[in-house]
C-alpha cells in the first residue's frame, strides 16, 4: 500500500468514526457543555465540520466552492458555509461533503505537482498537500475526545461509554 493509499484509507476510516459518533448522539446531548464556558457538543461538531471548508477556502477555493452558499456572505463579503445554520443532527452531510472536497483538493494538488495556495502565509502544508488529510484526522480525534468527555460528564453510563468505544474496531480492521 502506498503512503497516499494508506492515508486515504485512514481518512475514510476517520469519516466512519465521525459517522458512528454522530449516529450515537441523543438530541439532548447536543447542548452538553462543561458548564465553564466551553463549547457544547453541537458547537464542537460544527467546528469540526467547518474546519474543512475553512482550510479549503484558504488552500483551494475551487474545492471549497461546493461547500459554500454563494447567495449569503459574511462581514468580509466571503460566502457562508452551506451548513452555517443547520441543526446539529444534519451535520453528517457537511462532514461527507467536506471530506470529499478535501480529498479532491489534495489529489488535484498532487496530480499537478503543486503546493496549495497560501494567501495568508499560514503554512499551507508546504511539504506535501496530503498533510491536510492527516491534520484533519488529528483535529477530528482531538475534538471527538472532548465530546466523549462531555458525554461521560453528561450522564452516559459506563456501559454506554463502552459501546461508544466500539468505534476503535474501525481502526483495527
The annotated binding site for a divalent metal cation is made up of: 47, 139, 143
Annotated binding site: 47, 139, 143
N residues, the chain? 173
What is the DSSP secondary-structure string of 6-66?
HHHHHHHHHHHHHHHHHHH--GGGGG---SSSPPPHHHHHHHHHHHHHHHHHHH-HHHHGG
> What is the grid cell recorded at 38?
466551553
CA distance 105 to 82: 18
Helical ranges in 65-157 per DSSP H: 91-111, 131-153
CA distance 104 to 17: 20
DSSP 10: H
CA distance 122 to 129: 14
- Looking up cell 466500539 gives 166
Amino acid at each position: 500500500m502506498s503512503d497516499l493509499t494508506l492515508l486515504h484509507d485512514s481518512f475514510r476510516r476517520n469519516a466512519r468514526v465521525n459517522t458512528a459518533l454522530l449516529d450515537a448522539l441523543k438530541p439532548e446531548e447536543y447542548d452538553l457543555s462543561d458548564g465553564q464556558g466551553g463549547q457544547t457538543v453541537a458547537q464542537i461538531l460544527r467546528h469540526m465540520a467547518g474546519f474543512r471548508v475553512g482550510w479549503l477556502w484558504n488552500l483551494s477555493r475551487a474545492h471549497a466552492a461546493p461547500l459554500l452558499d454563494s447567495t449569503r456572505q459574511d462581514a468580509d463579503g466571503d460566502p457562508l458555509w452551506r451548513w452555517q445554520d443547520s441543526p446539529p443532527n444534519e451535520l453528517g452531510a457537511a462532514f461527507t461533503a467536506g471530506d470529499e472536497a478535501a480529498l479532491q483538493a489534495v489529489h488535484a494538488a498532487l496530480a499537478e505537482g503543486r503546493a496549495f495556495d497560501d494567501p495568508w502565509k499560514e503554512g499551507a502544508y508546504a511539504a506535501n498537500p496530503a498533510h491536510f488529510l492527516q491534520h484533519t484526522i488529528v483535529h477530528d480525534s482531538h475534538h471527538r475526545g472532548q465530546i466523549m468527555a462531555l458525554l461521560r460528564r453528561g450522564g452516559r453510563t459506563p456501559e454506554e461509554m463502552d459501546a461508544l468505544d466500539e468505534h476503535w474496531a474501525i481502526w483495527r480492521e
